[in-house]
A and B are shown apart, each in its own frame.
Chain A
Amino acid sequence: MNTIQQIVTVRKDGQVTLRVPWPAETRVRVIVLEESGTEQDEAIALACWQEQSGFARQVLADPAEDVWNAL
């Protein structure tokens, strides 16, 4: 899966413009995070991409894995 990361500024009307390399009609997933330049934000962004993986969504998110919550 191809991903891109861009840092853009929100306009006065609250909108942003993204230029993406995929052809028209391609369905894309957009996740927007506030950019503060801190290490924590970058970590969250990195983690955010990875939690979209099939393994995270199908296996780690399985309620059977909730046994680990209380440890």
Chain B
Amino acid sequence: MPFKIQAGGIYKLPFPFTDLSSKKARPALALSAPDVNGDIRFLFITTTPVRSSERGYAFDAGDYAGTPLPFPSFLRLDKPFLLHQSLVIKPLAQLSRAAFARVFRRLIIAEIPCFAELEHGPRPFVSGTTLIPPSGKVVGAPELENMVEAALDGWLTTGRFNTAFEQELGKFLDLPHVLTVNSGSSANLLAVSALCSPSLGERALQPGDEVLTVAAGFPTTVNPILVNGLTPVFVDVELGTYNVDVEQLAAAIGPRTRAIMLAHTLGNPFNLDVVTRLAHEHGLWLVEDCCDALGSTWRSRKVGTFGDVGTLSFYPAHHITMGEGGAVFTRDPLLARIVASIRDWGRDCWCAPGRDNTCGKRFDWRLGKLPVGYDHKYVYSHLGYNLKITDMQAACGLAQLERLPGLIEARRRHFRFLRERLQSCEEFLLLPEATPGSEPSWFGFPVTLRESAGTTRLDLLRYLDQYRIGVRLLFAGNLTRQPYFANRQYRIAGNLTVTDLVAENTFWLGLWPGLDTVQLDYLADRLEAYFGAGF
């Protein structure tokens, strides 16, 4: 054989393979050099286009290192052949290194749907045996494909998938500035820390300033207030919506009040008419913690777009996930710059990873007391962290965004189902209500055990646990009663009577999109059986 067969080469093979007269021939790409037995893995190339039911793609002239094949050439990815080197007639062309790498990328990705169906596809539900988790993720082939793509890129840190994710999420929210971070808690930390930035001048929050919030929620809505030396002021909540009591919120505003930071509880928007009016009238910053409320709307506009800054979480329990992750979003370009700085080590430079001198003045700045021309890449204007995400996370999130409308609709559908189905238990359970003016993208289905129910929440939760039905409390219940809150600086506006009731008697049921009405019906059956209702 006067030529060497190498991986990435395109060779002429006899067809039929056993017709050694070589009257007919077909081209095939060698995926490997001959092995110890002389065998080569080939993919055939046809001039017949690939059908939609087949896997393959067309080469273009740029894919070749040298002279391309003279006819339209479609690589058949799903038809591998193992043929012996003795059958090869002659070389025809050679793929470029990049094009050959792309072939393997496509081959690797092509196997994912089968795997995804086996590993992440629906499984049969066996009542009483199969766990009904209160929250969970819906991931499949698109997420795995994107994550593998990102891994194959080898970029690892924030990269092309992150750029695309931030853009697409910005479109969904209809906001110009979206910055990903490594968790919803980090998002809240950045949102509050940004409001303390000296770059805001007199508007910056100062230590001792008060921030209105609620105690019936998740700790990392409040922790950034404490970490920044600010004072949380806790306002009571309403039963049913589990959001801040807006009348008490107005009454809580004092001379040191400078901001409001509230979560849309379990996806149910708080009263944005009142809260935004109060913020405007009193010159208060408004941070909307939307970690549990992606897709919720207030008067048909997405929550998170009313305040100065909004935050999201992409932990697996949330509306979309990337494993760990979150985002901060805003309309304000200055706040966006500050958030980016604090997220990215506190640096003054805004170059994306792997980029340099975006400002065009990298060695021309004079900032702080540094020497003239000190490399802008190493100038720090904020006390910062590194809270960026990896591109594999962003890749997962990007695929999740495609699913988002369906995920939101499933949550709403499940809420309606449970709300209807559990009416039989209303004598015992206070059922949730959407805040008037809102359309929630529900995170969970909150219920409060009525005092007249004749049982305790603990007994009920133990009962549900026996039937493999998972439930969750309304997070910290009353934060001020948590062990870590001892000796913290805070103020309670009025009293937290309802918050204490929530801590005592409220819990929430799952309605995430991975559940279906069979499971929800079983859940409702068990509750009816417990209360002796619905017969």
Interface residues on B, range: 20 to 34
Bound together, the chains give a CA A51 to CA B44 distance in angstroms of 12
Contacts of A62 in B (CB 8 A): 46, 48
Partner pick for B17 among A47, A65, A71, CB 8 A cutoff: A47
- A51, chain B: closest CB distance, angstroms: 5
Which of chain A's residues have a CB closer than 8 A to the CB of B24? 66, 69
A44 at the interface (CB under 8 A from B): yes
Q: Is the CB of A51 within 8 A of B16?
A: yes
Q: Please tell me which one of the listed residues A39, A43, A59, A71 contacts residue B48 in the complex, with CB atoms under 8 A apart.
A: A59
Min CB gap A17→B, angstroms: 24
A38-54 at interface with B (beta carbon < 8 Å): 39-40, 42-44, 46-48, 50-51, 53
Taking a contact as CB atoms under 8 Å apart, the answer to whether A43 and B87 are in contact is yes
**B277 interface residue (CB < 8 Å to A):** no
Residue of B12, B15, B70 with most partner-chain A CB within 10 A: B15
Return A35 CB to nearest CB of chain B, in Å.
15
Say whether A43 contacts B26, CB under 8 Å. Answer: no
> Which of B23, B44, B92 makes the CB contact (< 8 A) with A69?
B23
Question: B84 near A43 (CB under 8 angstroms)?
Answer: yes
* Chain A 51-71: CB-based contact to B (< 8 A → 1; otherwise 0): 101011001111011111101
For B82, list chain A residues within 8 Å (CB): 46, 50
Q: Which B residues lie within 8 Å of A66 (CB)?
A: 24
Which residue in chain A gives the minimum CB-CB distance to B23?
A: A69
Instruction: Say yes or no: A47-B47 contact (C-beta < 8 A), given A60-B26, A68-B27.
Output: no
B47 touches A68 (CB 8 A): yes
A-B contact count (CB 8 A): 75
B71, A50: Cβ atoms closer than 8 Å:
no
CA distance A43 to B88 in the complex (A): 11
Bound state CA distance, A46 and B35, in angstroms? 15
Cross-chain contact of A60 among B15, B39, B70, B71 (Cβ < 8 A) = B15
Q: Which residue of B lies closest to A44 (CB)?
A: B18
Interface residues on A, range: 20 to 34
For B39, the chain A residues whose CB sits under 8 A away are: 46
Contact B46 A71 (CB under 8 A): no
Q: Which residues of chain B have C-beta atoms less than 8 A from A46's C-beta? A: 39, 82-84
A60-B26, A65-B47, A69-B24 given as contacts; is B76 within 8 A of A50 (CB)? no
For residue B28, which residue of chain A has the nearest CB? A60
Residue of B nearest to A62 (CB): B48
B86 partner, pick from A39, A53, A71, beta carbons under 8 A: A39
Min CB distance B51 to A, Å, is 9
Q: Let me know if B26 and A50 touch, CB within 8 A.
A: no
Indicate which residue in B23, B38, B81 contacts A39 across the interface (CB closer than 8 Å). B38
Q: A55-B76, A56-B16 are in contact. Are A67 and B83 (CB under 8 A)?
A: no
A48 to B87, CA, bound (A): 12
- Chain B residues near A40 (CB-CB < 8 A): 84, 86
User: B242 CB to closest chain A CB, in angstroms?
Assistant: 60
The complex places the Cα of A39 from the Cα of B48 at a distance, in Å, of: 33
Residue contact A65 to B84, C-beta cutoff 8 Å: no
* B84 x A71 contact (CB < 8 A): no
CB pair A68 B38 closer than 8 Å: no
Is B25 on the interface with A (CB-CB < 8 A)? yes
The answer to whether B12 and A67 touch across the interface, beta carbons within 8 angstroms, is: no
Complex: how many Å from CA A65 to CA B12? 13
CA distance A47 to B71 in the complex (A): 25
> Are the C-beta atoms of A39 and B84 separated by less than 8 Å?
yes
Contact A65 B87 (CB under 8 A): no
Q: Per-residue 0/1 for B68-93: is the Cβ within 8 Å of any A Cβ (1 yes, 0 no)?
A: 01110000100101111011000010
CA distance A66 to B76 in the complex (A): 17
Inside 8 A of A47's CB, which chain B residues have their CB? 17-18, 83-84, 87
In the complex formed, the residue of A with least CB distance to B16 is: A51
Among candidates B12, B15, B44, B83, residue contacting A43 with C-beta atoms closer than 8 Å: B83
For B35-67 the 0/1 string (1 means CB < 8 A from A) is 000110000101110000000000000000000
**Identity of the chain A residue whose Cβ is nearest the Cβ of B79 in the assembled complex:** A55
- Cβ-defined contact, A64 with B48, below 8 A: yes
Task: Find chain A residues with CB under 8 A from B70 CB.
Answer: 71
Instruction: Report if A68-B25 is in contact (Cβ < 8 Å); known contacts: A59-B46, A62-B48.
Output: yes
- Known contacts A64-B48, A68-B25, A71-B27: A50-B86 contact under CB 8 Å: no
Whether A68 contacts B12 by the Cβ 8 Å rule is yes
Q: Is the CB–CB distance between B44 and A60 below 8 Å?
A: yes
Which residues from 12 to 38 on chain A have a C-beta closer than 8 Å to any C-beta of chain B?
A: none
Indicate which residue in B18, B25, B38, B81 contacts A71 across the interface (CB closer than 8 Å). Answer: B25
* A50–B83 CB distance below 8 A: yes
Q: Is the CB of A68 within 8 A of B26?
A: yes
Closest to A54 in B: B79
Query: Complex: how many Å from CA A39 to CA B71?
Result: 34
Q: How far is the CA of A53 from the CA of B44 in the complex (A)?
A: 13
* Other contacts beyond A46-B83, A47-B84, A66-B24: 12, CB < 8 A: A46-B82, A47-B18, A47-B83, A51-B15, A55-B76, A59-B46, A61-B16, A65-B47, A68-B27, A71-B12, A71-B25, A71-B70
Name 10 interchain pairs, CB-CB below 8 A, sorted by A: A43-B83, A44-B18, A46-B82, A47-B83, A59-B48, A59-B76, A61-B16, A67-B71, A69-B23, A71-B69
Q: Which 8 A/B pairs are nearest by Cβ-Cβ distance?
A: A43-B84, A47-B17, A51-B16, A55-B79, A51-B17, A48-B18, A43-B86, A69-B24
Which A residues lie at the B interface, using CB under 8 A? 39-40, 42-44, 46-48, 50-51, 53, 55-56, 59-62, 64-69, 71
